[in-house]
Structure 1
């Protein structure tokens, strides 16, 4: 029973972790969640190797197999005892908006793992001195608990506060048990080891229940239901357009029969507008499901792109647009980048409920250009910020005009240009989107 339990732990958790990573490959929070789940699954493999397989091997022989298995067991032992501290702390720093994807900061947080590797372990002998590990693990555990409590305290909405509390339970209980395990005596640690699979499975069940309900980290379940939603929206949009085509065609016929030719030009203009709307809808869906964008790069002035976008923005007199965009030459696909910036600006204007300001600023630093688009609108919460690039995800109410593809498509365009797009936002404080591209 003991062996089967850890075998199922290994197979189940690693499979689910890999699945969640693949299904949500654009979500930075889910990357760390999936990594922790896989790490927990490897506990089962490490225990089976250490407790069942290695004791049955003749380690005195010169065979390469026992030595390799011992080294793999040692590597797993180091990984599962150190990585959860690091990964969960990074998760909570991202979750609370205290860091972006800063490689230097992430590398700095991983230093205790490397110190443990080189000074407190011997992988070839499956040896791990937990003295140093226990204390830096305790420091990381305190940091994780502090960030978890912080996320609950600052949340004003009861629904989200409950959600943050559940996430705290999912991560804080296992990490606390791991740290107690490191400080415990050998007899106590053996008893804790038996309880670990049950704790991990319970936390995983909570994650899966929230995930299926579309409530875990704000992630919408990507299933046939999501495809159905997008299909219905597309059908509704095209159906309305087709109805307008018929109406304008009948009006043209009536005008010809009654020889009221002065109205025909207006009806033809309506048909052309409907054509553009239908083509745009199909283009958005087509790009969303395509794996790659084919770029047609050319030298372009970013200031000219911004100027074109501003001219086509839907706005009223209550929105003030402040532009600071000096001439800057870049090599980009002008059509795609214009559409990308237009999506961002349209979202910004729609977020401004009453009077407000949209600021567009262009700066060149060394060999990169930074386009910053800021609004004084309603802003987004942390989960919306982390999920805004997911396909069919929208912080606005779904309509035939809001498919949840605008920011997803914008990120695809920027990624295709080897650039970066970053969002900073808070509810009631507006949103700032920064697009970074290479200059000529």
Structure 2
């Protein structure tokens, strides 16, 4: 019976975790939650190999090599399911509390990996529970502290507090039984068979987690830097409108100066720019809904990317930044409005990063399968931690490096995802930043 429960755990939790990773790869909270589910699913695989597969192949008289390989695999899985939950749960609550630090995440992994050194997985599967508990208990206590701290920060709403408490119990109760299982035998003798309770509790926790997932509780309890979809959509729209309105004002002032100085031949060009900007603003109004959706709705049309780049560059002629253009006419099927926003956000961020005189180099690279556009600035650059958080909504490095990517780069990534493209950022402090947009497919033959 106990083996059946563990096998059920494997066949239910493993695909569920893979689904969450595929569907919510940008949501760090759900990603770490999916890793916890995956590890729980591996416990079912480990029990199945140890209790069913290994005895079966041994009874069939399989060779020593096959038995040894399968024994080592089973032992490695045993180490994973006994050690990784403490680490994954702690990192989950670190992200839950809004303290995601790459360095901390890596350092916390070191004791977990050392479990493979201090246990025997080669001759006899022997678990060094004393070593695992030496850091596992502090990890669990740290997770509880972060959980309680988050609980105290929640507003005085009974529903939210109840949901948050339920989320903690979903995670901590199976972890507590894992801890008791490791303590049993060495530190105390339990009259209850704890092993059979673990898969049952995990399955109940999964059911409760799915209920919370259905009510978007995980999204609602993202770190304070990540707002709800409605807030995100409103802020993104405000960001886009402010840019468009500022451009219209600039064009209007330029037309006024041209009229005052009787430079009538320039008025027509400035007026055309104003009309184009107005059309762009109206396009954004018509696409209010896409900012609150998970995926953008794009209207693809053959577009000369070089012309779009020139139009966006013209918006920054009043800045002290110079542009080096290394691109030619390339026609791609894109949403012109979204692509204009994409280029405008990247260049605007670069201008802000330079903060004075400097240069932005735009290079276009054409290959058989892709068209790449590289935006390189001579600004202040960013460190690895800033780059890792760059595409988080409302994450800003402005106070650190002058690179205000709070909304811009998040929107750039959404636009490139909608075009089945990719965006890559490379940077070093003091050496500028390069943003690369990569479009799949070949350029269109004609407009």
Whether TM-score is above 0.5 comes out as yes
Q: Does the CA contact (< 8 Å) of 2:83 and 2:132 recur in 1?
A: yes
Match of 1:418 in 2: 424
Match of 1:58, SS state, is: helix
Q: Measured at CA, do residues 43 and 37 of structure 1 come closer, stay the same or move farther in structure 2, by a change above 3 Å?
A: same
In the aligned structure 2, how far is the partner of 1:132 from the partner of 1:6?
A: 25
Provide, for residues 380-412 of structure 1, a one-character-per-residue CA deviation record: whole Å limited to 9, x for no partner. xxxxx97779xxxxxxxxxxxxxxx98753334
Q: Does the CA contact (< 8 Å) of 2:90 and 2:143 recur in 1?
A: yes
Match of 2:98, SS state, is: coil
Match of 1:98 in 2: 99
Provide, for residues 276-320 of structure 1, a one-character-per-residue CA deviation record: whole Å limited to 9, x for no partner. 456446789698257x9x99699x99xx97x94899xxxxxxxxx
Q: Measured at CA, do residues 272 and 217 of structure 1 come closer, stay the same or move farther in structure 2, by a change above 3 Å?
A: closer
Provide, for residues 42-92 of structure 1, a one-character-per-residue CA deviation record: whole Å limited to 9, x for no partner. 111111211233234439863432222212111110111111111111111
Q: Does the CA contact (< 8 Å) of 1:329 and 1:439 recur in 2?
A: no
Match of 1:121, SS state, is: coil
Q: Does 1:114 align with 2:113?
A: yes
Match of 2:198 in 1: 196
Q: Does the CA contact (< 8 Å) of 2:10 and 2:45 recur in 1?
A: yes
The alignment covers a number of residue pairs equal to 319
Match of 2:296 in 1: 288
Q: Measured at CA, do residues 270 and 109 of structure 1 come closer, stay the same or move farther in structure 2, by a change above 3 Å?
A: closer
Match of 1:140 in 2: 139
Alignment of 1:38-437 (within 5 A): 38-58=38-58, 62-100=63-101, 102=102, 104-123=103-122, 125-158=124-157, 159-185=159-185, 188=190, 191-218=193-220, 276-277=280-281, 279-280=283-284, 288=296, 308=315, 327=321, 335-340=340-345, 362=354, 369-370=380-381, 408-412=410-414, 416-419=422-425, 437=433
Match of 1:127, SS state, is: coil
Q: Does the CA contact (< 8 Å) of 2:423 and 2:435 recur in 1?
A: no
Match of 2:19 in 1: 19
Q: Does the CA contact (< 8 Å) of 1:369 and 1:438 recur in 2?
A: no
Match of 1:347 in 2: none
RMSD over aligned CA atoms reads 4.9
In the aligned structure 1, how far is the partner of 2:324 from the partner of 2:94?
A: 34
Match of 1:396 in 2: none
Match of 1:30 in 2: 30
Match of 1:118, SS state, is: coil
Q: Does 1:438 align with 2:440?
A: no
User: How big is the shift at 1:12?
Assistant: 0.4
In the aligned structure 2, how far is the partner of 1:310 from the partner of 1:94?
A: 42
Q: Does the CA contact (< 8 Å) of 1:330 and 1:438 recur in 2?
A: no
User: How big is the shift at 1:19?
Assistant: 0.9
In the aligned structure 2, how far is the partner of 1:328 from the partner of 1:124?
A: 67
Q: Does the CA contact (< 8 Å) of 1:419 and 1:437 recur in 2?
A: yes
Q: Does the CA contact (< 8 Å) of 2:154 and 2:160 recur in 1?
A: yes
In the aligned structure 2, how far is the partner of 1:171 from the partner of 1:310?
A: 55
Match of 1:34, SS state, is: helix
Provide, for residues 174-209 of structure 1, a one-character-per-residue CA deviation record: whole Å limited to 9, x for no partner. 222212211111764981110001111111111101
Q: Measured at CA, do residues 54 and 161 of structure 1 come closer, stay the same or move farther in structure 2, by a change above 3 Å?
A: same
Q: Does the CA contact (< 8 Å) of 1:28 and 1:386 recur in 2?
A: no
Q: Does the CA contact (< 8 Å) of 1:174 and 1:200 recur in 2?
A: yes
Q: Does the CA contact (< 8 Å) of 1:330 and 1:439 recur in 2?
A: no
Note the residue ranges of structure 2 that are not aligned, 5 or more in a row. 223-228, 234-272, 328-338, 359-376, 383-390, 396-406, 437-447
In the aligned structure 2, how far is the partner of 1:171 from the partner of 1:146?
A: 14
Q: Does the CA contact (< 8 Å) of 1:367 and 1:438 recur in 2?
A: no
Normalised by the length of structure 1, the TM-score is 0.58
User: How big is the shift at 1:330?
Assistant: 8.9
Q: Measured at CA, do residues 105 and 273 of structure 1 come closer, stay the same or move farther in structure 2, by a change above 3 Å?
A: closer
